[in-house]
């Protein structure tokens, strides 16, 4: 298909689960969409190498379940797991709930098959972890949102499946206590900490409003976090984690906490973090996905509230995110949609000085193009343009996205 499109000078937009959040799959009037949804086979699970070979259109959840059936773990996890595909995850270098322990998608891909804009197939299908033989070609296509090639196949890195899971929802008296508890659990849980999801009170209030999710803890605390450790050696892992939490409770670093006693309770706690669709009850709404150094995070959010309040009456700022990764999600509503550009500037401008990122995990697509230069230098952008020109000289692949 790409060879034909290349010959005809036809622009192509790769599309998969269409759960991307930055307009990366939008198709212009003279462009065509290339769906990967029928490339949906899991081709091999190699339990010895701990790898899985998949076609690009396999939904993330199907990969997770196939790994689990073999006592293994595919460590990428995010709320859109049922619809998002591995090709889309690779193209966006998706992050999600377990980055703290296992890294982003690029850390979970060992090999890739990609079709270039001219139809040439690049096979870099390795199962090996170590391969220092020059440029790591697969990384060019991970996180570049279908602008350099179409991912058709991948070899994924699996991990041993966890034997135990400890999931806790904790409430905190202040931000510095949240940061201290993160440090302590990280240092003292023997590398088993896999998620540390922070929620400011406004987020918790929204999700636990009447008729939504039940509130396991009182709604009066300023901060909450969903903390999860995944262990491989049963009791030893669990008791270490619980001892840390106990001492944090005794020192009032944690104000209150609830520990999931079953898989049902665990799922219920996770829905407080995952059911982000309740944000849509705020209308009009602008959502952001930024990252910044953890020590600057609380001051940044307070500064944002103050700046917005100078311009608009009673702005709503809902903050939550993956604390261990310095990744903050923001949902902001200031009354009408005409102020989008102003709000974006208020959110992104301070990130320049903080050396943060305008996109932590969702990508740039069309929506964030204007702000790429807030995070990347002109020299970096020039390199990106040069690579694009080299791999897609006639610019037919996902035109206008990122650059």
Ligand X SMILES: Cc1cc2nc3c(=O)[nH]c(=O)nc-3n(C[C@H](O)[C@H](O)[C@H](O)COP(=O)(O)OP(=O)(O)OC[C@H]3O[C@@H](n4cnc5c(N)ncnc54)[C@H](O)[C@@H]3O)c2cc1C
Please select the residue that binds ligand X; options are 40, 79, 366, 395, rule is CB under 6 A: 79
Instruction: Establish if 399 lies at the interface with ligand X (CB under 6 A).
Output: no
CB nearer to ligand X: pick between 71 and 82: 82
Please select the residue that binds ligand X; options are 74, 87, 221, 279, rule is CB under 6 A: 87
Residue-wise burial string across 2-35, b where 16 or more C-beta atoms lie within 10 A, e elsewhere: beebbeeeebbbbbbbebbbbebbbeeeebeebe
Instruction: Establish if 84 lies at the interface with ligand X (CB under 6 A).
Output: yes
Question: DSSP assignment, residue 25?
Answer: T
| DSSP character string of 38-100 | T---EEEEETTTTEEEEETT-BHHHHHHHHHHTTEE---B-TTTTT-BHHHHHHHT--BTTHH
Shortest Å, Cβ 343 to ligand X: 21
| Main-chain dihedrals φ then ψ at residue 234, nearest 5 degrees | 50, -125
Query: In 3-state terms, what secondary structure has residue 153?
Result: strand
Please select the residue that binds ligand X; options are 94, 108, 109, 117, rule is CB under 6 A: 94
Shortest Å, Cβ 337 to ligand X: 20
Q: What residues from 269 to 298 belong to the interface with ligand X (CB under 6 A)?
A: 276
Instruction: Establish if 198 lies at the interface with ligand X (CB under 6 A).
Output: no
In sequence order, the 6+-apart residues with CB closer than 8 A to the CB of 13 are 25, 26, 27, 28, 31, 32, 33, 34, 146, 398
The Cα-based distances of 374 to 291, 300, 355 in angstroms read 12, 16, 9
Residue-wise burial string across 118-139, b where 16 or more C-beta atoms lie within 10 A, e elsewhere: beeebebebbeeeeeeeeeebe
Please select the residue that binds ligand X; options are 54, 63, 75, 91, rule is CB under 6 A: 91
CB nearer to ligand X: pick between 53 and 85: 85
Shortest Å, Cβ 311 to ligand X: 29
- 185 vs 192: CA distance, rounded Å: 9
Q: What residues from 26 to 55 belong to the interface with ligand X (CB under 6 A)?
A: 36
Residue 163 in contact with residue 245, Cβ under 8 Å?
no
CB nearer to ligand X: pick between 61 and 242: 61
Shortest Å, Cβ 79 to ligand X: 3
Shortest Å, Cβ 151 to ligand X: 4
Query: In 3-state terms, what secondary structure has residue 302?
Result: helix
Q: Which stretch binds ligand X (CB under 6 A): 15-23, 179-187, 226-234, 370-378?
A: 15-23
Please select the residue that binds ligand X; options are 73, 117, 145, 374, rule is CB under 6 A: 145
- 14 vs 312: CA distance, rounded Å: 39
Omega of the bond prior to 284 within 30 degrees of 0, cis? yes
Q: What are the strands of the beta sheet with 51-55, ordered from one edge?
A: 42-46, 51-55, 150-157, 109-115, 121-124
Instruction: Establish if 88 lies at the interface with ligand X (CB under 6 A).
Output: yes
Instruction: Establish if 63 lies at the interface with ligand X (CB under 6 A).
Output: no
Instruction: Establish if 197 lies at the interface with ligand X (CB under 6 A).
Output: no
Instruction: Establish if 124 lies at the interface with ligand X (CB under 6 A).
Output: no
Q: Which stretch binds ligand X (CB under 6 A): 9-17, 67-75, 217-225, 388-396?
A: 9-17
CB nearer to ligand X: pick between 143 and 240: 143
Instruction: Establish if 304 lies at the interface with ligand X (CB under 6 A).
Output: no
Instruction: Establish if 111 lies at the interface with ligand X (CB under 6 A).
Output: no
Residues engaged in binding ligand X (CB under 6 A)? 13-21, 24-25, 36, 56, 78-80, 84-85, 87-89, 91-92, 94-96, 145-146, 150-151, 276, 361-362, 365, 398, 401
């Amino acid at each position: 298909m790409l060879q034909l499109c290349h010959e005809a000078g036809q622009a192509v937009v790769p599309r998969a689960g269409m759960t991307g959040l930055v307009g990366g799959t939008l198709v212009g009037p003279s462009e065509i969409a290339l769906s990967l949804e029928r490339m949906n086979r899991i081709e091999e699970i190699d339990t010895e190498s701990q790898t899985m070979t998949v076609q690009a259109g396999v939904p993330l959840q199907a990969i997770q379940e196939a790994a689990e059936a073999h006592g293994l773990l595919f460590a990428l996890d995010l709320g859109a797991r049922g619809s998002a595909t591995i090709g889309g995850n690779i193209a966006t270098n998706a992050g999600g709930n377990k980055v703290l322990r296992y890294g982003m998608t690029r850390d979970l891909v060992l090999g890739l098959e990609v079709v270039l804009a001219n139809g040439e197939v690049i096979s870099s299908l390795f199962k090996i972890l170590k391969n220092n033989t020059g440029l790591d070609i697969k990384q060019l296509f991970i996180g570049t949102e279908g602008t350099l090639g179409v991912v058709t196949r991948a070899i994924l890195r699996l991990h041993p499946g966890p034997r135990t899971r400890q999931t806790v929802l904790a409430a905190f008296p202040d931000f510095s206590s949240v940061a201290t508890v993160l440090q302590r659990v990280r240092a003292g849980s023997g590398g088993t900490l896999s998620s540390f999801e922070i929620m400011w009170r406004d987020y918790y209030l929204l999700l636990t409003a009447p008729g939504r999710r039940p509130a396991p803890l009182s709604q009066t605390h300023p901060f909450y976090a969903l903390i999860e450790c995944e262990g491989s050696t049963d009791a030893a892992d669990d008791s270490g984690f619980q001892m840390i939490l106990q001492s944090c409770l005794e020192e009032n670093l944690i104000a209150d906490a609830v520990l999931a006693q079953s898989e049902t309770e665990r799922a219920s706690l996770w829905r407080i973090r995952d059911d982000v669709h309740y944000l849509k009850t705020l209308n009009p709404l602008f959502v952001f996905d930024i990252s910044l150094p953890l020590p600057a995070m609380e001051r940044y959010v307070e500064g944002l509230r103050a700046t917005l309040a100078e311009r608009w009456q009673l702005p709503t700022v809902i903050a939550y995110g993956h604390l261990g990764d310095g990744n903050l999600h923001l949902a902001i509503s200031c009354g009408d949609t005409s102020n989008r550009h102003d709000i974006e500037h208020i959110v992104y401008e301070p990130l320049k000085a903080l050396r943060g990122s305008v996109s932590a995990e969702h990508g740039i697509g069309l929506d964030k193009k204007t702000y790429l230069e807030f995070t990347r230098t002109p020299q970096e952008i020039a390199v990106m343009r040069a690579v694009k020109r080299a791999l897609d000289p006639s610019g037919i692949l996902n035109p206008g996205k990122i650059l």
